[in-house]
Amino acid sequence: MDGKATSNIGAFSRGGDTRGDHKASDHDLGCKEKYIPCGIVDEDTAQLYVTFGRSFKTSDCIVDTLAAWWQGLSATEHGEIDRVQIKMDNGSESSGVRPQFLHRMVPFADTIGKPLHLLYDPPYHSKYNPIERRLFSQISRNWAAEPLINYDKILGLIRNTTTTTGLKVRAYLDTKEYPLKVKPTAQRLSELHITRHRILPKWNYTIAPSAPFNVK
């Protein structure tokens, strides 16, 4: 799971070669609309999922993306999962010590009734995350140089993206507004049931749905 760099919405030049008679501005001055993609690659099924937010990339946005992915699974798929292991980018919004991120992830674990095992890439090594080569690289190749004039154009290009094995990307738009600098209370933080790895506590930890779950 990871997010991609924010891009501007509008008839702006994005470089590269493409077919068609496209016209675009070479500067993005005055741009007000942006998109913030957050994607998930299921390494067991190879399914690809991405949401596009119209607000800020925050801890709440990331957890809502994860919750939407879970809701999109069938009851059979839910039953086949005994724990959800997530490989995360070591960004500030999803850091293993980010209070709001942890505060949101614990109720998510309670809701799905499964332990969440989070593993983080070392700093500056996010390019090795499977999502980069299996999702974002395919998206970038499909919409190379295409002006992203609106959200419908973005979703259309994403949904037409296919991998080398023929799988398509499921893309959705998140219209919620996510405020910045949201912090939980100290009391709520003290209630979090998190078990951390003894050697890499910030980069390897498990959130249990109701009681601490030992990391081996």
The pLDDT score that the predictor gives to residue 186 is: 61
Angle at 85 between CA 155 and CA 202, to 5 degrees: 105
77 in Cβ contact with 163 (< 8 Å): no
What pLDDT sits at residue 212?
Answer: 42
pLDDT of residue 213: 42
Residue 214 lies in a domain: no
* Confidence (pLDDT) at 199: 92
Nearest to residue 180, comparing CAs of 57, 21, 40?
A: 57
Sign of CA dihedral 202, 208, 211, 216: negative
pTM (two decimals): 0.75
pLDDT at 10: 61
Instruction: Indicate whether 103 belongs to any domain.
Output: yes
Q: Is there a domain that residue 86 lies in?
A: yes
Q: What is the pLDDT of residue 24?
A: 58
110 assigned to some structural domain: yes
213 inside domain: no
Q: Dihedrals φ, ψ of 183, to 5°?
A: -130, 135
Q: Which residues pair with 168 in a beta bridge?
A: 162
Q: Which pLDDT does position 126 carry in this prediction?
A: 64
In this structure, is residue 104 part of a structural domain? yes
Residue 212: inside a domain: no
Q: What is the domain count for the chain?
A: 1
Provide the CATH number for the domain around residue 124. Answer: 3.30.420.10
Q: 105 lies in which domain range?
A: 2-207
Token pair belonging to 112:
């799905």
Q: What is the mean pLDDT of each run of 10 residues along the chain (216 residues)?
A: 72 59 60 74 82 79 91 90 89 86 90 93 71 73 72 78 71 82 68 84 90 44
Please report the pLDDT score of residue 215 as a whole number.
Answer: 43
CA atoms of 199 and 180, how far apart (whole Å):
32
Question: Is residue 216 in a domain?
Answer: no
Query: Which helix (H) or strand (E) covers residue 189, if one does?
Result: helix 186-190
